[in-house]
Amino acid sequence: MAREIKVGLIGLGTVGSGVVRILQDNAALIEERLGAVVRLVKVADIDWERDRGIPLPVDIMTRDAWEVVRDPDISVVVELMGGDEPARSLILGALEMGKDVVTANKALLAVHGRELFAVARQRGVRIGFEATVGGGIPIIRALRDGLVANRISSVFGILNGTSNYILSTMTVEGRAFSEVLREAQQKGYAEADPTLDVEGIDAAHKLAIVAGLAFGADIEFSTIFVEGISRVTPLDLQYSAEFGYRVKLLAIGKWNDGRVELRVHPTMIPKSHLLATVEGVFNAIYVTGDAVGPTMFYGQGAGGLPTGSAVVSDLVDLCRDRLKGHEGHTPDVHTLQLSKPVVINDIEDVRTPCYLRITALDRPGVLSKISGILGACDISIESVIQKGRRVRGTVPIVMMTHEATERNVRRALQEIDNLDVIKAKTMLIRVEGALT
Amino acid sequence: MAREIKVGLIGLGTVGSGVVRILQDNAALIEERLGAVVRLVKVADIDWERDRGIPLPVDIMTRDAWEVVRDPDISVVVELMGGDEPARSLILGALEMGKDVVTANKALLAVHGRELFAVARQRGVRIGFEATVGGGIPIIRALRDGLVANRISSVFGILNGTSNYILSTMTVEGRAFSEVLREAQQKGYAEADPTLDVEGIDAAHKLAIVAGLAFGADIEFSTIFVEGISRVTPLDLQYSAEFGYRVKLLAIGKWNDGRVELRVHPTMIPKSHLLATVEGVFNAIYVTGDAVGPTMFYGQGAGGLPTGSAVVSDLVDLCRDRLKGHEGHTPDVHTLQLSKPVVINDIEDVRTPCYLRITALDRPGVLSKISGILGACDISIESVIQKGRRVRGTVPIVMMTHEATERNVRRALQEIDNLDVIKAKTMLIRVEGALT
């Protein structure tokens, strides 16, 4: 008789249903590859009215998530309910009871990862978190195992499908953010409250996890600079194209001799770069290591089946380890829990070229005033576009600067935006030219 | 004192030197991630005159590869000498002695994989072969672990950097194959004898390995249809662009209900597809699974450090397993050795749209004759370009057909090329429109 590992699932939403479907549809395949059966013995959710289109035996359903955690037969708990509490307590409970945990809860890991990994380590169990970043893309494994020989110098990620869909659509169709967002909500690509996605917070959660692993660093989530895409206009996308760039919501992590730079913001990247061709709801992570050079990992960043694919890959991994006969096995050393604190660069020290769209009254001397301020702040201009597209008496003055520190740019923009000829807050988009 | 695993290396060429450099430069990093020291205790090569720019203690150098295999202290043997014999015997010897093996020898695995994996399985040891495909791209791990939950339906790979460099350069610069090849040889991107690379054999070796893993199939190398890029002309690349395509040497594997289709040939793919943007010596593998959907893995497909990165990742993986305390550990079930024989589709049954460039005398009635033959062979034409670019009295007639079987296309081309108005062998490039 085939050996089996008993698994419990908490949260039967989109991803949870995807996991159940995969375990059902590909049961034979998974058994063959693992050499054992992954048996789902308990599923907890508060809503059992909704039809998810997947057949489940009534006796494995429960409304009490703690029943899953406390079941002594269950070796691995899959947490897919999301959110902070009770997810955190449930995971801690499972770890304390010597169970491995698989989770897709990026917000929780980004903020409470240190605590959870410490407990896992102490109890000799593991947390699988492949599903927290990039949906079905096996990026966690790539960083932990595939690129283990490398000192990673940078990661650039398109980590939020909703934002990428919105920016892609705005670029192609020239429509406004709010309009495309509404459409995305209708299509189910964006949540009713889109803040986490469009304001870059979700991407920052994922960056915290990826950067922690890539740089072996204990990332304090609040140190990540985050700016969303809601202020980007079709005009900015059009100018970007004229300058030879595309705009992506990029999660950027750079390592430089023990100092780490972490930021999420709309970013202009050369349109010939591979990342620039990642469209719609797809995600991609561009990783550079000292031995391997540049690499990229691409796939669907969300959805029940893609994310379910990552969850089940963790399940198989943990089950494989248990089957090798070390219950109470040593956790991998190279996971978040061993990370050391690092120095996080102040965003004000970051140097990038910048795109500036200044909304000025169409009067003589304006450009000279602006360029005077930029010069005084040590910012040199690479090129300027000023075409007569007048809107209510103002013209957009669009500039690309050479590399400048964020500190100087902020100082300059404060002065510029205080001029009485300036009629709107200046739009700033940071540029990454080389992506290394 | 830190635990250590003793490793021996056979073959100090480009990749071997890369491995030594990584083990030296990133020693601290690797020790931290593995929780142990990977110690290189013996290196075999026949040429110790050449300066490789890496310091090695004299007492670990040897000219006798068997010394590495027979050293009882060595747990893992890294075979990087390439070729058939003595590599095969050395690997077999190491496995028989209970050592794990890491190899980058794709030709050997593609042809003798079955034998080697059988021995490894029997002896309870493992063969790491991440470096056989895609240089530093962790594609083997992705297929074995990251996408383990998926039934893989197709893989499309740009697996030979030399060919991709040549095609990219021909496309951009409009120069002839032979000229670009010569330049690639001068730059060190192509071997003095480029056959393996430009005739698709190297890509087919890699396809055998990737497809074996992706489809759980025991691939007989000789069943792979292989056609190289040496007949592709700048004119073909130009027409491809006009039709909206790019030409890549693609390694194609498709699984359809137990039947597997395997082929390597110049392929026209839509220029908007992500694979079409993979330029120069880079490799990429586009994999579609039933749960995850489409994914892509991208990076440098060759070179000492990138390939060394893959070798060292295998080393760390095998060492981790040994440290977990199971010498004589169970090998992973999901590797080539458990693969089952599958039905390989006859190339003549494969259906693709085709690009045809027919070199005909510029006479009335030629097009009608050609289209008559195509029609009689059940091949319908999607579009035709016939412009008056006369070369020695002939004109190129360029056609895109709808999907047709290879059998019918071959029959038609044989008839067409036998017409006395046809002055050169017709150029056929198969098209992949959807890449799924």
Residue-wise pLDDT for A249-286, tens only, equals 999 999 988 899 999 999 999 999 999 999 999 999 99
Looking at A48-57, A384-393, A402-411, B129-138, which range is the least confident one?
A: A384-393
Higher pLDDT, B148 or A344: B148
How many interchain CB pairs under 8 A, A with B? 208
Q: What is the mean pLDDT of chain A?
A: 93
Residue in B with minimal Cα distance to A302: B292
Please tell me if residue A297 touches chain B, with a CB cutoff of 8 Å. yes
- Kindly list the residues from chain B whose CB atom is less than 8 angstroms away from the CB atom of residue A333: 32-35
Residue A327 has pLDDT above 50, yes or no: no
Compute the distance between CA of residue B379 and CA of residue B404 in angstroms, rounded to an integer: 6
Compute the distance between CA of residue B255 and CA of residue B217 in angstroms, rounded to an integer: 10
Number of other residues whose CB lies within 10 A of the CB of residue B434: 8
CA atoms within 13 A on the CB side of B377: 24
- With a CB cutoff of 8 Å and minimum separation 6, the contacts of A222 are none
Residue A337 pLDDT: 46
Ordered by start, the domain boundaries in chain B are: 4-136+304-340, 147-300, 349-431
Please tell me if residue B145 touches chain A, with a CB cutoff of 8 Å. yes
Asked, as a colleague might, if the bond just before A341 is cis with ω within 30 of 0, I would say no
Percent of chain A predicted with pLDDT > 90: 83
Residue A328 has pLDDT above 50, yes or no: no
Which H or E run includes A118?
helix A106-123
Q: Which tens digits make up the pLDDT trace of A382-435?
A: 999 887 667 778 889 999 999 999 999 999 999 999 999 999 999 999 999 988
Longest dimension (CA), chain B: 86
**Which pair of tokens denotes residue B325?**
């305390």
Residue B430 one-letter amino acid? R
Active-site amino acid positions of B: 206
**Which pair of tokens denotes residue B128?**
């790491």
Compute the distance between CA of residue B160 and CA of residue B158 in angstroms, rounded to an integer: 6
Identify the band that residue B327 occupies on the pLDDT scale cut at 50, 70 and 90.
Answer: very low
Residue A293 pLDDT: 98
**Alpha helices in B194-303, H assignment, sequence order:** 195-198, 201-215, 234-242
Task: State how far the alpha carbon of B116 is from the alpha carbons of A23, A422, B376, in Å.
Answer: 32, 73, 49
ipTM of the complex: 0.95
Please tell me if residue B259 touches chain A, with a CB cutoff of 8 Å. no
Residue matched to tokens 């994996």: B117
Compute the distance between CA of residue B174 and CA of residue B204 in angstroms, rounded to an integer: 27
Residue in A with minimal Cα distance to B334: A33
Interface test with B, best of A155, A278, A309 (most B CBs within 10 A): A309
Instruction: Classify domain A139-300 by CATH number.
Output: 3.30.360.10
Contact A163, A198 (CB under 8 A): yes
Q: Is residue B314 classed exposed, middle or buried when 0-12, 13-18 and 19+ CB atoms within 10 A define those classes?
A: buried
DSSP letter string over B354-384?
EEEEEEEES-TTHHHHHHHHHHHTT--EEEE
Looking at A327-331, A404-408, B335-339, B341-345, which range is the least confident one?
A: A327-331
Tell how far CA A134 is from the center of its chain.
7
Identify the band that residue B217 occupies on the pLDDT scale cut at 50, 70 and 90.
Answer: confident
Please tell me if residue B332 touches chain A, with a CB cutoff of 8 Å. yes
Please tell me if residue B214 touches chain A, with a CB cutoff of 8 Å. no
Residue B386 pLDDT: 82
Compute the distance between CA of residue B125 and CA of residue B114 in angstroms, rounded to an integer: 15
Residue in B with minimal Cα distance to A295: B299
Compute the distance between CA of residue B158 and CA of residue B203 in angstroms, rounded to an integer: 8
Q: Is A254 a catalytic residue?
A: no
Asked, as a colleague might, if the bond just before A234 is cis with ω within 30 of 0, I would say no
Identify the band that residue A115 occupies on the pLDDT scale cut at 50, 70 and 90.
Answer: very high
- Kindly list the residues from chain B whose CB atom is less than 8 angstroms away from the CB atom of residue A32: 216, 333-334, 338
Contact B336, B375 (CB under 8 A): no
Interface test with B, best of A33, A130, A342 (most B CBs within 10 A): A33
Q: Is residue A403 classed exposed, middle or buried when 0-12, 13-18 and 19+ CB atoms within 10 A define those classes?
A: middle
Residue B417 pLDDT: 97
Q: Which tens digits make up the pLDDT trace of A158-214?
A: 999 999 999 999 999 999 999 999 999 998 888 999 999 999 999 999 999 999 999
The pTM is what?
0.96
Residue B130 pLDDT: 97
**Cβ–Cβ gap A33/B316 under 8 Å:** no
Compute the distance between CA of residue B338 and CA of residue A35 in angstroms, rounded to an integer: 11
Please tell me if residue B334 touches chain A, with a CB cutoff of 8 Å. yes
**Cβ–Cβ gap A317/B145 under 8 Å:** yes
**Cβ–Cβ gap A298/B297 under 8 Å:** yes
Residue B264 has pLDDT above 70, yes or no: yes
Residue B20 pLDDT: 98
Please tell me if residue A332 touches chain B, with a CB cutoff of 8 Å. yes
Residue matched to tokens 């079930």: B333
Residue A436 pLDDT: 83
Longest dimension (CA), chain A: 86
Percent of chain B predicted with pLDDT > 70: 96
Selecting from A35, A297, A317 the residue whose C-beta is nearest the C-beta of B297 gives: A297
Residue A364 pLDDT: 87
**Cβ–Cβ gap A34/B333 under 8 Å:** yes
Residue B198 has pLDDT above 80, yes or no: yes
**Would you call A146 helix, strand, or coil by DSSP?**
helix
Please tell me if residue A414 touches chain B, with a CB cutoff of 8 Å. no
**Which pair of tokens denotes residue A347?**
């965003």
Residue A329 pLDDT: 47
Instruction: Classify domain A349-431 by CATH number.
Output: 3.30.70.260
Domain spanning A4-136+304-340, CATH class: alpha beta
- Kindly list the residues from chain A whose CB atom is less than 8 angstroms away from the CB atom of residue B147: 136, 138, 309, 313
Residue A1 has pLDDT above 60, yes or no: no
B147-300 folds as: Dihydrodipicolinate Reductase; domain 2 (3.30.360)
| Nearest alpha carbon to residue A265 among A278, A253, A282 | A253
| Nearest alpha carbon to residue B209 among B127, B146, B273, B148 | B127
Residue A389 pLDDT: 65
Identify the band that residue B321 occupies on the pLDDT scale cut at 50, 70 and 90.
Answer: confident
